[in-house]
Structure 1
Amino acid sequence: MHPEQPERLTAIVDRLRSSTVADQIQWLNPSTSRNVIKEIERVHSTKYIEQVRSYSARGWGCFESTQISPQSFEVACLAVNAWLDGVDTVLQVGRPSFVLARPPGHHALKDEGMGFCIFCNAAIAALYALEIGQIKRVGILDWDVHHGNGTQVFSKHKTVIIPIA
């Protein structure tokens, strides 16, 4: 069985819905009204974005261990929007956000998907938060079993990364 599968996300959702804090969770769908490509281009090359779009349009493609399916481009854009919505919630409403999104987003490099990540959602969200101008630094707590190499590449942009293995 391939390690990247929809059941990873549904297991987390099921656990949260049955948890003692379930009544405190506000479930939101990602917005679709923003120009997410503009935000993705802060981190990824136009050539790479178009390659992901092309692979998805033809129904198959692969970057390292990251396979692209017909829905991959659209779903990856929704995942980015979810991360950006999380930033907006924190900055506008003053509430913490926890974004559950697949594909994840801390391994993708500027020109290549990697580690099941199509876009580097963490770096995109961090740069978006910095661009808004209300904050000067962003901290990324990465608790995967190995470092988020895609996010690490973008750490020069006033972003603090704390890998936890």
Structure 2
Amino acid sequence: MLDRGNPDDYHWFCLRHVRDYNKSWNFFDGMSDDEVLKYKDDDITGHRPTWKMGSRTATIRPDHVYDDPFEFRKETENPFSGFQGDSHQNNQARKMDAKEREALATLNLTPGCTLKEIKRRHKELAKKYHPDTRGGDKQAEEILKNINQAYTHLLSCGNS
């Protein structure tokens, strides 16, 4: 058992004596009332520093130099680029396999669509073909499975 006063000082007790020791042990023993109140207040945030809401907002700086000792990211890569902000030309220039074209067809979407369009279409079709809205229809359940598989495949292909 570790002694709070000295972290390197251990007490070795049998189970009966451990119970007796724990009954009489007080974590706040030796602290003033102000220290106890401060400890309890700090405990709300896990004893981590806090700031007023909005005083420490993150800013995106495109000129920021990122440390990349293993050169995982090429110099020409933009760390802030993503599917949502890219233009349609970049998405259309990308090669698509047959499964990805089939997934787009399942969702009735065209190549080059945005992530927002994919999500919106998935939500629309999921509401339309959900078995609960169709009284437990097995055919609707199969259609929904295909829609979910297509959606998952599009997300895994880099359309996220």
Q: TM bucket by the smaller chain?
A: under 0.3
Larger Rg: 2
TM-score by length of 1: 0.21
More strand by share: 1
- Which one has more relative contact order, counting CA pairs under 8 Å at least 6 apart? 1
TM-score by length of 2: 0.21
